[in-house]
Copies of this chain bind each other. A is one copy, B any other.
Amino acid sequence: MKKIFLVIHLFLASSYLFAQEIENYIDFVNPLIGTQNMGHTFPGATAPFGMVQLSPETNQVPMYNAEGQYNKKTYEYCAGYQYGDSTIFGFAHTHMSGTGHADLGDFLIMPTTGELTLDPGTADQKQKGYHSSFRHETEKATPGYYEVVLDDYNIKAQLTATERVGYHKYTFNKTEEAHIILDLMSNIYNHDDKNVWSFVRVENDSTVVGYRQTHGWARTRYVYFAMRFSKPIKNYGHKKYDKPNYNGFYRKFDEEHNFPEMAGKQLRAYFDFDVQEGEAIDVKFALSAVSTEGAMLNLTTEVPGWGLDKVKHATQIKWNNELQKIDVKVANKAQKETFYTAMYHSMLSPVIYEDVDQKYRGLDQNIYTSDGFTNYTIFSLWDTYRALHPLFNLIQPERNNDMIKSMLAHQDQSIHHMLPIWSHYSNENWCMVGYHAVTVLADAVAKNTTDADLKRMLEASKATSTVRYFDGIGEYIDLGYVPEDKSNASVSKTLEYAYNDWCIAQLAKANGDDAVEEEYTLRSKYYKNVFDKEINYMRPKLSDGSWRDNFDPLDTHGQGFIEGNAWNYGLYVPHEVENMIEMMGGKDQFSQHLDKIFTTEIEDKYIEHHEDITRDGIIGNYVHGNEPGHHMPYLYNWTNDAWKTQERVRMILDTMYSNDIDGLCGNDDAGQMSAWYIFSSLGFYPVLPGSADYAIGSPLVEEATIQLDNGKTLSIVAKNQSSKNVYVKKVILNGKEVKGNTLNHNDLAQGGTLIFEMSKRPKKK
Interface set of A (CB-CB < 8 Å, partner B): 63, 191, 193-194, 196-197, 199, 201-203, 209, 211, 213, 215-217, 219-220, 242-246, 248-249, 251-254, 258-261, 263, 265, 291-293, 364-367, 415-416, 429-431, 469-471
Give the docked Cα–Cα distance between A246 and B470 (Å).
18
Find out whether the CB atom of A261 lies under 8 angstroms from the CB atom of B365: no
Minimum CB–CB distance for A361 against chain B, Å: 10
Find out whether the CB atom of B254 lies under 8 angstroms from the CB atom of A469: yes
Give the docked Cα–Cα distance between A244 and B193 (Å).
8
A194-B245, A220-B197 as given contacts; A259 in contact with B469, CB under 8 Å: yes
Find out whether the CB atom of A220 lies under 8 angstroms from the CB atom of B253: no
Tell me which residues across on chain B come within 8 A of A416, comparing CB atoms.
260-261
Give the docked Cα–Cα distance between A261 and B213 (Å).
18
Give the docked Cα–Cα distance between A430 and B251 (Å).
9
The 5 closest A-B pairs by CB, nearest first: A293-B366, A201-B415, A260-B415, A248-B429, A252-B471
Tell me which residues across on chain B come within 8 A of A201, comparing CB atoms.
364, 415
Closest to A199 in B: B220
A220-B263, A365-B211, A469-B258 as given contacts; A248 in contact with B431, CB under 8 Å: yes
Closest to A296 in B: B366
Tell me which residues across on chain B come within 8 A of A215, comparing CB atoms.
197, 244-246
Minimum CB–CB distance for A563 against chain B, Å: 13
Minimum CB–CB distance for A562 against chain B, Å: 10
Find out whether the CB atom of B470 lies under 8 angstroms from the CB atom of A253: yes
Known: A196-B197, A258-B469. 18 other contacts (CB 8 A): A193-B265, A196-B213, A196-B265, A197-B197, A199-B220, A209-B364, A213-B213, A215-B244, A219-B249, A249-B430, A251-B430, A253-B471, A261-B415, A291-B366, A291-B367, A292-B364, A292-B366, A367-B367
The 26 sampled A-B contact pairs (Cβ below 8 Å) are A191-B245, A193-B243, A193-B244, A194-B245, A196-B196, A196-B197, A196-B213, A196-B265, A197-B215, A199-B220, A201-B415, A202-B415, A213-B213, A219-B263, A220-B263, A248-B431, A249-B430, A251-B430, A253-B470, A254-B469, A258-B469, A260-B415, A260-B416, A261-B416, A292-B365, A292-B366
Tell me which residues across on chain B come within 8 A of A367, comparing CB atoms.
291, 367
A248-B430, A252-B470, A253-B470 as given contacts; A291 in contact with B365, CB under 8 Å: yes
Minimum CB–CB distance for A308 against chain B, Å: 29
Give the docked Cα–Cα distance between A63 and B247 (Å).
14
Give the docked Cα–Cα distance between A252 and B201 (Å).
40
- Partner of A219 from B194, B220, B246, B415 at Cβ < 8 Å: B246
Closest to A414 in B: B261
List the number of copies, as a whole number.
2
Give the docked Cα–Cα distance between A245 and B218 (Å).
11
Minimum CB–CB distance for A300 against chain B, Å: 15
Give the docked Cα–Cα distance between A601 and B383 (Å).
81
Give the docked Cα–Cα distance between A480 and B367 (Å).
49
Minimum CB–CB distance for A205 against chain B, Å: 13
Tell me which residues across on chain B come within 8 A of A219, comparing CB atoms.
246, 248-249, 263
Find out whether the CB atom of A213 lies under 8 angstroms from the CB atom of B197: yes
Closest to A429 in B: B248
Minimum CB–CB distance for A538 against chain B, Å: 21
Give the docked Cα–Cα distance between A291 and B361 (Å).
11
Give the docked Cα–Cα distance between A470 and B261 (Å).
13
Tell me which residues across on chain B come within 8 A of A217, comparing CB atoms.
246, 248
Give the docked Cα–Cα distance between A62 and B592 (Å).
70
Minimum CB–CB distance for A151 against chain B, Å: 35
Give the docked Cα–Cα distance between A430 and B249 (Å).
7
Find out whether the CB atom of A252 lies under 8 angstroms from the CB atom of B430: yes
Minimum CB–CB distance for A546 against chain B, Å: 24
Tell me which residues across on chain B come within 8 A of A251, comparing CB atoms.
430
Give the docked Cα–Cα distance between A216 and B247 (Å).
10
Closest to A216 in B: B246
Minimum CB–CB distance for A75 against chain B, Å: 15
Tell me which residues across on chain B come within 8 A of A211, comparing CB atoms.
365
Minimum CB–CB distance for A41 against chain B, Å: 23
Tell me which residues across on chain B come within 8 A of A254, comparing CB atoms.
469
Give the docked Cα–Cα distance between A191 and B265 (Å).
15
Minimum CB–CB distance for A440 against chain B, Å: 21
Closest to A220 in B: B263
Give the docked Cα–Cα distance between A260 and B469 (Å).
11
Give the docked Cα–Cα distance between A291 and B291 (Å).
13
Closest to A202 in B: B415
Minimum CB–CB distance for A297 against chain B, Å: 11
Tell me which residues across on chain B come within 8 A of A220, comparing CB atoms.
197, 199, 263
Closest to A472 in B: B252
A199-B365, A416-B260, A470-B253 as given contacts; A245 in contact with B193, CB under 8 Å: yes
Give the docked Cα–Cα distance between A217 and B63 (Å).
32
Minimum CB–CB distance for A345 against chain B, Å: 25
Tell me which residues across on chain B come within 8 A of A261, comparing CB atoms.
415-416
Tell me which residues across on chain B come within 8 A of A263, comparing CB atoms.
219-220
Give the docked Cα–Cα distance between A193 and B191 (Å).
17
Tell me which residues across on chain B come within 8 A of A259, comparing CB atoms.
469
Give the docked Cα–Cα distance between A253 and B416 (Å).
12
Tell me which residues across on chain B come within 8 A of A253, comparing CB atoms.
469-471
Give the docked Cα–Cα distance between A245 and B219 (Å).
9
Give the docked Cα–Cα distance between A261 and B760 (Å).
59
Minimum CB–CB distance for A489 against chain B, Å: 10
Minimum CB–CB distance for A125 against chain B, Å: 26
Give the docked Cα–Cα distance between A242 and B217 (Å).
17
A246-B215, A248-B429, A291-B365 as given contacts; A415 in contact with B196, CB under 8 Å: no
Tell me which residues across on chain B come within 8 A of A202, comparing CB atoms.
415
Give the docked Cα–Cα distance between A607 and B244 (Å).
29
Give the docked Cα–Cα distance between A265 and B265 (Å).
13
Minimum CB–CB distance for A511 against chain B, Å: 26
Tell me which residues across on chain B come within 8 A of A191, comparing CB atoms.
245
Minimum CB–CB distance for A432 against chain B, Å: 10
Tell me which residues across on chain B come within 8 A of A292, comparing CB atoms.
364-366
Minimum CB–CB distance for A378 against chain B, Å: 15
Give the docked Cα–Cα distance between A244 and B217 (Å).
11
Tell me which residues across on chain B come within 8 A of A471, comparing CB atoms.
252-253
Tell me which residues across on chain B come within 8 A of A429, comparing CB atoms.
248
Minimum CB–CB distance for A238 against chain B, Å: 14
Give the docked Cα–Cα distance between A194 and B243 (Å).
12
Tell me which residues across on chain B come within 8 A of A258, comparing CB atoms.
469
Q: Which of A191, A216, A365 has the most C-beta atoms of chain B within 10 angstroms of its own C-beta? A: A365
Closest to A194 in B: B245
Give the docked Cα–Cα distance between A469 and B249 (Å).
12
